[in-house]
Amino acid sequence: MYSAAQTEATTQFASRFLLRRSIRIDPPYWFAIVIAIFLMFLKDRFYTASEVNFPSFTEIFAHIFYVQDLFGIQSISSVFWTLCLEFQFYIIFAFIYQFYYFAHDRFRFYISKFLAISAMGLCFLGPFFRFSSFDIGVPGTILPYSYEFIFGVLTYFYINGSINWRWLLSAMIISSIATTMYGPFYYNLVPILTVSVLIICTKSDIFSVLRSRIMLFFGKISYSFYLTHATVGWVSISIFIYLFEDFESGYITTAIFLSGIFVSVFFSVFFLYVIEIPSLKLSKRLKGGKI
């Protein structure tokens, strides 16, 4: 949202926006796929106690274009499913943004109302499809999680003064009711707390710690950490468990867990500077001030 708001839309907005997002997130993601498969090979080579199911070429191809969940293909890494949803959001957002921007002024009011009402509807339907027994027939779509993306959009619009707080509050109440009706109530807590912290951070210095150097550092490596922690981090923990399996101690268990986190952070820093930052620089070059 912030990136799009800083640019002027043209007839090529959707295509160039999606291209920039692809260059920003694809290369690190593709390298994470390679790393995951390489670790599978090492496991198959040196740890023969369990069978390794290598992904087929078709499954890898599906991962490259974020459609593995749509075809019911098991993710190579347990975290990749969220990227499938994220890229669906980018596609939907890009074309809605371009359509709205080039609509005639007299139609924008009605488009805004339609989008707002649709957002409120999805805040109920999203939790319904996510937590109820109803099967929408197509796996891996953004629909069951759409309300969380809507929270992000509405939060941005509220913070920059584009909408009244009532829209955001209504969305949170509707989704909370639906979630409580069809799923565990505690699933409301994370999105509500996230929105609350974001708003409070813009209004006061209560959470000034989030602007500290250590928090900015973790924010900087967050994408690299996200992509690799489920493979590199957990593999390192598995290795440590194998090496210290004869030592039964709570201290050893804690040390192994902390070592896994350290390895994940260290590798994330390496991944950031070698893979992610070059992709980010290329994406910014394509921005060129205007899309």
pLDDT tens digits, one per residue of 26-35: 999 999 999 9
Nearest to 77 by CA among 38, 33, 43: 33
Give yes or no for residue 89 having a pLDDT over 50.
yes
Better-predicted residue by pLDDT, 268 or 113: 268
Identify the weakest region by mean pLDDT among 21-25, 160-164, 208-212.
Answer: 208-212
pLDDT in the model for residue 291: 43
The answer to whether position 266 is within a domain reads: no
Give yes or no for residue 258 having a pLDDT over 50.
yes
The answer to whether position 137 is within a domain reads: yes
Give yes or no for residue 288 having a pLDDT over 60.
no
The answer to whether position 23 is within a domain reads: yes
The answer to whether position 17 is within a domain reads: yes
The answer to whether position 180 is within a domain reads: yes
Q: Cα 260 to chain center, whole Å?
A: 22
- Altogether, the residues listed in the chain come to a count of 291
The answer to whether position 116 is within a domain reads: yes
Residues 191-203: b if buried by 16+ CB within 10 A, e if exposed: beeebeebeeeee
Highest mean pLDDT among 2-11, 41-50, 185-194: 185-194
Centre a 10 Å sphere on the Cβ of residue 142 and count the other Cβ atoms it contains.
Answer: 18
The number of distinct structural domains making up the chain is: 1
User: 112-168, pLDDT tens digit by residue?
Assistant: 889 999 999 999 999 999 999 998 888 899 999 999 999 999 999 998 888 888 999
* CA distance linking residue 222 with residue 272, whole number of Å: 9
Domain range holding 99? 9-207+277-287
pLDDT in the model for residue 20: 87
Determine contact, residues 210/201, Cβ cutoff 8 Å.
Answer: yes
Band of residue 49 on the pLDDT scale cut at 50, 70, 90: low
Instruction: Please identify which residue in the block is written with the tokens 């799923």.
Output: 183
**Which residues 6+ apart lie within 8 Å of 264 measured at CB?**
225, 228, 229, 232, 233, 236
Highest mean pLDDT among 184-188, 210-214, 227-231: 227-231
pLDDT in the model for residue 5: 56
Centre a 10 Å sphere on the Cβ of residue 39 and count the other Cβ atoms it contains.
Answer: 16
pLDDT in the model for residue 174: 96
Band of residue 8 on the pLDDT scale cut at 50, 70, 90: low
The answer to whether position 124 is within a domain reads: yes
Amino acid at 11: T
The answer to whether position 188 is within a domain reads: yes
Better-predicted residue by pLDDT, 4 or 250: 250
User: 171-182, pLDDT tens digit by residue?
Assistant: 999 999 999 999
SS3 letters for 213-254? HHHHHHHHCHHHHHHHHHHHHHHHHHHHHHHCCCCCCHHHHH
pLDDT in the model for residue 99: 86
* CA distance linking residue 25 with residue 196, whole number of Å: 27
**Which residues 6+ apart lie within 8 Å of 195 measured at CB?**
151, 155, 168, 172
pLDDT in the model for residue 2: 54
